[in-house]
Amino acid sequence: MVVVVSAAAAEEEEEDVTVREFDGASDHDRAAVERLERACEVGPSAGKLCLFTDLLGDPLCRVRHSPAFLMLVAESGAGGEVVGVVRGCVKTVACGRRGRDDELELFSKVGYLLGLRVSPAHRRRGVARALVARMEEWFRQAGAEYAYVATDRANEPSVRLFTSRCGYAKFRAPSVLAHPVFRHDLAPPRRAAVVRLCPRDAELLYRARFAGVEFFPRDIDAVLRNPLSLGTFLAVPDARAWPGGGGAGAEPFLASPPASWAVCSVWNCKDAFRLEVRGAP
């Protein structure tokens, strides 16, 4: 897939770029994307802490495990230099319930834009807009009804690109929290118990409690069985609150749950990519 785009920009001169699919078998493409990623900081402006993503040699790692995914690169018309990149995937997610007693779950196909990068020397020339437009075209071909993107609200150029030039609307403002996990000195309460759930029990629990939540993935079974999953864990006040595993524990648990419980799934992201915080102390 190759599309030549005249990427017009309001602020500066336009730049002709060729938007094409990333070739994962090409050493040239892989090296070019790695160079571009290193040149692009993600986070606050220079002089402050910034978040860098080490793709560990696999530029597709952030989308490879999605049901449908695509990665595009933009080459400058002069010399074929890779000056931009974007990744995208299409998923089927929950968008609410309707009907009597909300028994009917509603799903929608959505496209997710991520990893948009443009070389600092080629910004404000329409390269990002050309990449987004071509990815949105692929979303439409894949049957997506909506497209969304997550960006730092302090990243004003990114917010302006999507809200002013691409027609996106602000939807949610989630928080991303980070904390070292290599050492914990606090012990859990003696009465509390943490149970590792088998994928089937985890699926039943997630579907029963979260199927109507926005962006809940319809293929949660495939998500929980992903090779990067380290497991789903249930915390209960007393071990007796969990009736047993082997795929038969979720239903009786949900029929009579304790007053307080928590569930979480853990992912082995270090085998896909690594995040580093760099900047002035």
Q: What is the pLDDT of residue 13?
A: 62
Residue ranges covered by each domain of the chain: 2-176, 193-268
Q: Which two tokens stand for residue 184?
A: 């914990």
94 neighbors 211 (Cβ within 8 angstroms): yes
What is the greatest pairwise CA distance in the chain?
Answer: 68
Model confidence pLDDT, tens digit, residues 185-201: 767 677 788 889 999 99
- At the second CATH level, the architecture of 2-176 is 3-Layer(aba) Sandwich (3.40)
pLDDT band with cut points at 50, 70 and 90 for residue 129: very high
Quote the distance between the C-alpha of residue 111 and its chain's center.
11
Model confidence pLDDT, tens digit, residues 51-102: 566 677 788 888 888 889 999 999 987 678 999 999 999 999 887 766 555 5
Q: Cβ neighbours of residue 143 under 8 Å, at least 6 residues apart?
A: 90, 109
Share of the chain above pLDDT 70, in %: 78
Mean pLDDT of all residues in 239-256: 82
Q: How far apart are CA 214 and CA 172, in angstroms?
A: 11
Q: What is the pTM of this model?
A: 0.75
